[in-house]
Amino acid sequence: MGQPYPPFHFAKGRRRIGGIRRWVAAAAGALALTVGLVTVSPQASAAGLTQVTGFGTNPGNLSMYTYAPDALPSGAPLVVALHGCTQSASDYYAHSGWPKFADLYGFALVLPQTSSANNGNSCFNWFEPGDSARGQGEALSIKQMVDNAVSRHDSDPRRVYITGLSAGGGMTANMLAAYPDVFAGGAIDSGLPASCANSVAAAYTCMYSPPDKTPAQWGSLVRSAAPAGTTSWPRVAIWQGTADTTVQPANATQLRDQWTDVWGIGQTPSRTQSLSGGTTLSVYDDPAGRPAVEVYSISGMAHGLAVDPGSGAEQCGSTGTYYLDTICSSYHTARFWGLDGDDQGTGALPAPTGLAVTGATDTTASLSWSAVVGAASYQVYRGGTKVGTTASTAFTDTGLATGTTYSYTVAAVDTAGAAGAVSSAVTTTTTGYTPTCHTASNYDHTVAGRAYQTGGYTYATGSGQPMGLWNTFTTHTLKQTAPGHYVVADSGCSA
């Protein structure tokens, strides 16, 4: 990480590390994975945060902070958010974007905080079995915070979720495995598979070269950590940058394998979708057609939490060390969990049948399906996100991009407003083509296939328009108006 960090120091009376483990921790920077990286006073608290004491026996020696919007109604959801190393509850509160959606969608936040008394870099001890197993250490402290917050805010115990960054992400995976009866969903940001490590040395292996286990082997680690007989599992979002050199992107693959195996579904995505910030979303549906596991791969992003500062509906957070300006992960995670009021699948109505595409234009897709007895309305989902509600058995989605493939599902909604099971998915591709603009030298245009050269001169591919000498000095803007067809657009190019 480019700077040294001290070795681990644990609170008196907890556990001691032998000389070899101190040496390993010191030499490698005391788990730099765990995002180092904003120096914040561990006891500082941001405006709006409230520290709660006496929340339980607290065997993990953690601090509890909460945030709740004014006039939060009874039965609202609860989100637990775990910071990374050298960070604090207030730091995560200030940068992550979660308070915006707590206010917008109406849910309470719990932000646990560790300290240097537990770990020299204030990391959650995700790699210590005594801190990450059910009923022990830090894991039990977090569970006690959940119990306290559910009582304090009168939250819905069926809608409790957990998310975390790096070391907080590793702890999140372990909490989901140890307490599937507590958490309805989770989000692991730049984190590690559940039970990947049980020592400091093993933690480095997980970070830099995760074990190449089969999906069944990864899944077994979750099943063995959960209470015997568990059959219901949390829905899991996995966030990972492709340029992360601290927690290698292979960890996202292993996390996908782990949680798809737990759900009993394959490792081939049900659908993929391109999002902002160079993000590719891969969705893995459960047998009822609902997203069970989602993987967000962010092209070129290094180690950190994805944020997108701004006032837009899909924007959130603020940049900082290891808070990276790409896409608002908190927004998409909240939507995946249904915190926006998108109540996918909690009702008793069966999934609609006969969903079909009845037509498509360059910007619209039309659907129809068979009626469900007892349905008051229907919710339509594009790529797992609700895009409309209708009382009829037909719907036209508008404002789409040309030449793009979309996936749709539908759920029936009863008179109480609860959506039932989601239908099987159908896909359609809009017509037309979205133009693109490219400014480069004649040489680079040719190398990219947008132009060709003959006799030392350059011509636009498709249109054949002359572009001058074939060299690196002559520059033109080309507009792609159709696949394999470019025209010179030096006077202005709109796409």
Write out pLDDT tens, residues 373-407: 989 999 998 877 788 899 999 999 998 888 888 88
pLDDT score, position 48: 86
Nearest CA to 80 out of 168, 5, 166, 197 is that of: 168
How far, rounded to the nearest angstrom, does the alpha carbon of residue 417 sit from its chain's CA centroid?
A: 27
pLDDT given at position 289? 80
Count of residues for the chain? 495
Q: How confident is the model at residue 433 (pLDDT cuts 50, 70, 90)?
A: confident
Specify the pLDDT at position 401: 81
**Residues annotated as part of the active site:** 166
Contact 240, 193 (CB under 8 A): no
Predicted model pTM: 0.66
Domain with CATH 2.60.40.10 in the chain: 356-429
Q: Which of 41-45, 112-116, 220-224 has the lowest mean pLDDT?
A: 41-45
- 354 pLDDT band (50/70/90 cuts)? very high
Flag whether pLDDT at 209 surpasses 50: yes
Residue with more model confidence, 352 or 344: 352
Q: Which pLDDT score is estimated for 38? A: 28
Residues of the chain with CATH 3.40.50.1820: 19-337
Could you read off the pLDDT of 136-149 as tens digits, one per residue? 999 999 999 999 99
Structure confidence at residue 403 (pLDDT): 82
Lowest-confidence region among 231-240, 329-338, 382-391: 382-391
Provide the token pair at 212: 């190449």
* Exposure string over 321-352, b if 16+ CB within 10 A, otherwise e: bbbbbbbbbbbbbbbbbbbbebbbbebebbbb
**Residue closest to 127 by CA, chosen among 232, 24, 269, 4:** 24
Q: Residue 46: its pLDDT value, please?
A: 38
Distance from C-alpha of 487 to C-alpha of 484, rounded to nearest angstrom: 10
pLDDT above 90 coverage of the chain, percent? 71
Q: What is the CATH number of domain 19-337?
A: 3.40.50.1820
- Interval 60-82 mean pLDDT: 95
Query: Residue 17: pLDDT above 60?
Result: no
Asked if residues 145 and 55 have their Cβ atoms less than 8 Å apart, the reply is yes
Whether residue 125 has pLDDT greater than 90: yes
Locate 80 and state its tokens. 């637990």
pLDDT above 90 (res 190):
yes
Report residue 301 as tokens: 């992003």
Q: Which CATH class is domain 356-429?
A: mainly beta
pLDDT on residue 351:
86
- For the beta carbon of residue 156, count every other beta carbon within 10 angstroms: 15
> What per-residue confidence (pLDDT) applies to 71?
86
- Going by pLDDT thresholds of 50, 70 and 90, the confidence category of residue 346 is low
Whole-number pLDDT of residue 321: 87
Q: What is the pLDDT of residue 347?
A: 61
Q: Lowest mean pLDDT: which of 6-20, 81-95, 299-313, 318-332? A: 6-20
Q: Which residue has the higher pLDDT, 172 or 408?
A: 172
Mean pLDDT of the chain, nearest integer? 87
What are the tokens at 353? 């049948």
| Res. 34: pLDDT tops 70 | no
Report the pLDDT value the prediction gives residue 12, as an integer from 0 to 100: 30
Question: Predicted confidence band at 290 (pLDDT cuts at 50, 70, 90)?
Answer: confident
Q: Which residues contact 325 (CB under 8 A, 6 or more apart)?
A: 307, 308, 309, 319
Percent of the chain with pLDDT over 70: 89
